[in-house]
Amino acid sequence: MTRIAVIGCGYVGAVSAACFAELGHHVDCIDTDEVRVALLRQGRSPIHEPGLDALLRKGIDAGRLTFGSDYPGRFQARIVFIAVNTPEAQEGAADIRWVRDAVATVAVRLRPGSIIVNKSTVPIGTGELVAGMAERAGAEAFAVVSNPEFLREGSAIADFMKPDRIVLGGDDPAAIARVAALYAPLDAVVQCTDIRTAEMIKYASNAFLATKISFINEIASICETLGADVEQVARGMGMDQRIGGQFLRAGLGWGGSCFPKDVKALAHMAAIHGAHPQLLRSVVEINSDQRLRVLQKLRHALGTLEGRHIAVLGAAFKANTDDIRNSPAIELATLLALEGAHVRIYDPVVAPPRIAAAAPLVEVAGSLEACLVGADAAAIATDWSEFRTMDLAAAAHAMRGSLVVDTRNCLDPDAARAAGLDYRCIGRPVEERPKSTAPGVLPPLTAATGGQ
């Protein structure tokens, strides 16, 4: 058992801390957000992450997991993880002021022989900056190790416990070995490298995954033009082991707290050092265009968005998380509202006040039915299972119109059409139906127009 400290108890810090405690380590966690700490102390996760509450309680009950908002005079732990936020700043640069603050506070509290382990996603060169800060703060015989995190929200515990690889970067082999030992029970592949390369692996990985999604979204647009089915195309491509099927789902595009900022930060780093990141810029552009393409689908099918009542199903940036940072669903709802639509949005997990704060032009519904009732159209924006498995006949009955734009391709087109819905999706051939002429007035459902 090793005593470690984790600074920052958000999606990465809370999960890492609970998992390290599960591996048998003693973990002291610090977060400056007192509300978050109060919840965590009770074994309650401040974020929606399947399995996290149980793991927190287990660690706390075993006496291996503590939470506080005050830094100790001196850390008992000799390995201190930094897991604070690194959001997007101007021009796409990564804003590392929270890393700087955390390191400044940590550095003066370290025992000799300590290791600062950076788990936050940080610009290449930050490891050296951290080392310089710690040295100037008087830290003795310390090391800095980069240990980027690859977990996905929604499956974070499984991802932490069964990682594809653990990346450790640094120039002190003994320090790297001490950090690697923390993960020994996982029996995972550990890639040891220099600190800049470790930092770069994280950005390159996220940029590649975002590229895969933008790629398949571009293919989806071409499929729509040429009459091919992107779902089958992705399946056929994904079976090729050189390509792989993951992150090859056409949809509303990527979002969340990582891909948008990380792709932009990598492009920014490249640009300010004289490189020309044209692929990364296209990846970002295709992603923004994808929202506009969905907007256009709705506008085209309804004739106009002005005055239309539109139900947006989902606010989280993807299913199984309550993270709405850079959520495509919120962006779509806001774009619709800006074009004059009356937008109602519902999410099974995200608390309504958080949605209202992020999308002030939009009405928030408390249930799926309340969201759909009287709507001229619905857009499925997050592939929650509640939407995938919804009673389509009941949905058709609740709505005033029949248009459903499934931006996540998560419904069965035949079942949706059989329920009387005018079903549209992404990158799959659909029958066109006549446009209505006035807001709120859709032609009655018939076999011909009902999307059979």
Ligand X SMILES: NC(=O)c1ccc[n+]([C@@H]2O[C@H](COP(=O)([O-])OP(=O)(O)OC[C@H]3O[C@@H](n4cnc5c(N)ncnc54)[C@H](O)[C@@H]3O)[C@@H](O)[C@H]2O)c1
Catalytic residues: 258
Q: Is 11 in the site for ligand X (CB under 6 A)?
A: yes
Q: Select the span of 148-156, 334-342, 373-381, 405-413 touching ligand X (CB under 6 A).
A: 148-156
Task: Report the residue number, 8 or 427, with the smaller CB distance to ligand X.
Answer: 8
Q: Is 266 in the site for ligand X (CB under 6 A)?
A: no
Distance from C-alpha of 38 to C-alpha of 370, rounded to nearest angstrom = 33
- Within residues 71-90, the interface with ligand X by CB under 6 A covers 83-86
Q: Is 151 in the site for ligand X (CB under 6 A)?
A: yes
Task: Report the residue number, 151 or 421, with the smaller CB distance to ligand X.
Answer: 151
| Contact between 442 and 376 (Cβ < 8 Å) | yes
Distance from C-alpha of 12 to C-alpha of 99, rounded to nearest angstrom = 14
Distance from C-alpha of 281 to C-alpha of 277, rounded to nearest angstrom = 6
Q: Is 30 in the site for ligand X (CB under 6 A)?
A: yes
Give CB contacts under 8 A, 24+ apart, made by 393-397: 393/419, 393/420, 394/369, 395/368, 395/419, 395/421, 396/420, 396/421, 396/445
Q: Select the span of 6-14, 229-237, 388-396, 413-421 touching ligand X (CB under 6 A).
A: 6-14
Q: Select the span of 5-13, 303-311, 365-373, 440-448 touching ligand X (CB under 6 A).
A: 5-13
Task: Report the residue number, 12 or 266, with the smaller CB distance to ligand X.
Answer: 12
Q: Is 328 in the site for ligand X (CB under 6 A)?
A: no
| Contact between 146 and 110 (Cβ < 8 Å) | no
Q: Is 318 in the site for ligand X (CB under 6 A)?
A: no
Q: How far is the CB of 226 from ligand X (least distance, A)?
A: 36
Distance from C-alpha of 289 to C-alpha of 409, rounded to nearest angstrom = 18
Q: Which of 26, 64, 80, 121 binds ligand X (CB under 6 A)?
A: 121
Task: Report the residue number, 36 or 342, with the smaller CB distance to ligand X.
Answer: 36
> Residue for token digits 């509300």?
35
- Nearest residue to ligand X by CB is 10
Q: What are phi and psi of 87, to 5 degrees?
A: -75, 180
Q: Which of 36, 308, 408, 428 binds ligand X (CB under 6 A)?
A: 36
C-alpha atoms less than 13 angstroms from C-alpha of 380 in its C-beta half-sphere? 27
| Contact between 407 and 383 (Cβ < 8 Å) | no
| Contact between 436 and 302 (Cβ < 8 Å) | yes
Q: Is 200 in the site for ligand X (CB under 6 A)?
A: no
Q: Is 431 in the site for ligand X (CB under 6 A)?
A: no
- Within residues 88-117, the interface with ligand X by CB under 6 A covers 98, 101-102, 105
Q: How far is the CB of 234 from ligand X (least distance, A)?
A: 23
Q: Is 257 in the site for ligand X (CB under 6 A)?
A: yes
Q: Is 155 in the site for ligand X (CB under 6 A)?
A: no
Note the residues at the interface with ligand X (CB under 6 A): 7-13, 30-33, 36, 83-86, 98, 101-102, 105, 120-121, 149, 151, 153, 257-258
